[in-house]
Amino acid sequence: MKVLITGGTGYIGSHTVVEFQQAGYEVIIVDNLENSQPDVVDHIEKISGIRPHFEIADLRDKQALISVFEMYPDIKHVVHFAAYKAVGESVQHPLKYYENNIGGTINLLEMLQYHHINNFVFSSSCTVYGEVNNLPVTEETPSVKAMSPYGNTKKICEELLMDQCNASNLRVVSLRYFNPVGAHDSALIGELPVGVPNNLAPFITQTAIGKRLSLTVHGNDYPTPDGTCIRDYIHVVDLAKAHVKAIQYLQNKNHTQNYSVFNIGTGKGNSVLEVIHAFEKVSGVKLNYKIGSRREGDVVQIYASCDKATNILGWKAERSLENCMESAWKWEKHLNDVMIR
């Protein structure tokens, strides 16, 4: 029952570590702390009552990876989060993204092959679909040319995983996340955006707390009911639970394919203004926002069909948009308290 979680001190990884511990797995985190803090491990322990093993290592460093796998010879499953994720930065520095996201994945797969570890869950993204005509988007929808080098690393990793499944005993589930938001109910773990956030949810909470002057809604002239873009916002705890279901699915060995993909969203689209209003409702804070121009590269609307994950993995999102905003707000206030202290 040992599971190795790369990127386990990061935003989605830390919530996933907790869910695996609560499901009875022993967790080993590997993270280089480039985009996370070491005290996340203490916070995980506070939530679950169990301290995960934690190894600081970079997936690009083969020697470091060899040491980790030697230290824990009985790893049975791997969940792979570690990657860079900033779309804009990937356009400026594509090589950095290809090297880390693809190079790191290849090094990890070499370790799995060597140690005969066969169960692997990969963090993919709805970005592989681009702009789609038929909604909700199913896993059958063909992926398009990636809109950024970041998106391309997800596409390429999915393809290389498929090839490796064909060539070996590897069994892979790629989870295509829609828009992860929110934080753990304890407010002990959550998202830690570096610098000015690009994503909507942290921008909302930072504006509400006073870290940002105002939020700009990127366009209200889209062909949607209120003119703003539509996305599928999924609570990070619901998302974390999907990883446990995916590993259990691989463990149960009743899968027919060695490589499969699943959409992980709520199945419901919400506009930018709906997200803002949900936040205002649960926080009681009137948000200072203005309407700006469209943001380059934004798709008009996308939301998931999650029927495949429900039917095959037995997973379904349970939390509402209000709950997402409530937990994101509690986390932002917690961060503010910590800074003041």
Q: Which residues are catalytic?
A: 150
Which partner, ligand WQD, ligand NAD, none, binds residue 325 by CB below 5 to 8 Å per kind?
Answer: none
Residue 66-105 contact track with ligand NAD, rule CB under 6 A, x = bound = ---------------xxx-x--------------x---x-
Sequence-distant (≥ 6) Cβ neighbours of residue 252 within 8 angstroms: none
Measured in whole angstroms, the distance separating CA 255 from the mean position of its chain's CA atoms is 24
Nearest Cα residue to 232 out of 117, 322, 321:
321
Residues numbered 204-263 forming contacts with ligand NAD, rule: CB under 6 A: none
List the structure tokens of 231: 């996305």
Is residue 298 involved in binding ligand WQD (CB under 6 A)?
Answer: yes
Nearest Cα residue to 76 out of 1, 17, 164:
1
Q: Which of 3, 5, 12, 162 binds ligand NAD (CB under 6 A)?
A: 12
Is residue 272 involved in binding ligand WQD (CB under 6 A)?
Answer: yes
Q: Which of 21, 36, 148, 323 binds ligand NAD (CB under 6 A)?
A: 36
Q: Give 181 or 217: the residue with its C-beta nearer to ligand NAD.
A: 181
In whole angstroms, give the CA distance from residue 158 to residue 170: 13
Per-position DSSP letters for 178-220, written without gaps between them: -EEE---TTSSS-----SS--SHHHHHHHHHHTSSS-EEEE-S
Q: How far is CA 122 from CA 80, 222, 319, in A?
A: 5, 33, 23
Q: Which of 211, 218, 255, 334 binds ligand WQD (CB under 6 A)?
A: 218
In whole angstroms, give the CA distance from residue 300 to residue 317: 23
Name residue, tokens 């407010």. 187
Q: Which stretch binds ligand NAD (CB under 6 A): 28-36, 136-144, 315-323, 329-337?
A: 28-36
Q: Where are the beta strands (DSSP E) in the chain?
A: 2-6, 26-31, 53-56, 77-80, 119-125, 171-177, 179-181, 215-218, 230-231, 233-235, 259-264, 270-271, 289-292
Is residue 263 involved in binding ligand WQD (CB under 6 A)?
Answer: no
Residues numbered 150-209 forming contacts with ligand WQD, rule: CB under 6 A: 179, 198-200, 203
Q: Where are the beta strands (DSSP E) in 57-96?
A: 77-80
Is residue 59 involved in binding ligand NAD (CB under 6 A)?
Answer: yes
Residues numbered 306-325 forming contacts with ligand NAD, rule: CB under 6 A: none
Is residue 148 involved in binding ligand NAD (CB under 6 A)?
Answer: no
Q: Which stretch binds ligand NAD (CB under 6 A): 4-12, 139-147, 201-209, 244-252?
A: 4-12
Is residue 127 involved in binding ligand WQD (CB under 6 A)?
Answer: yes
Q: Which stretch binds ligand NAD (CB under 6 A): 30-38, 88-96, 256-264, 302-310?
A: 30-38
First to last CA, the chain: 39
Q: Which residues bind ligand NAD (CB under 6 A)?
A: 7, 9-13, 31-36, 58-60, 81-83, 85, 100, 104, 123, 125, 177, 180
Q: Which residues bind ligand WQD (CB under 6 A)?
A: 85, 87, 125, 127, 179, 198-200, 203, 215-218, 229, 231, 272, 295, 298
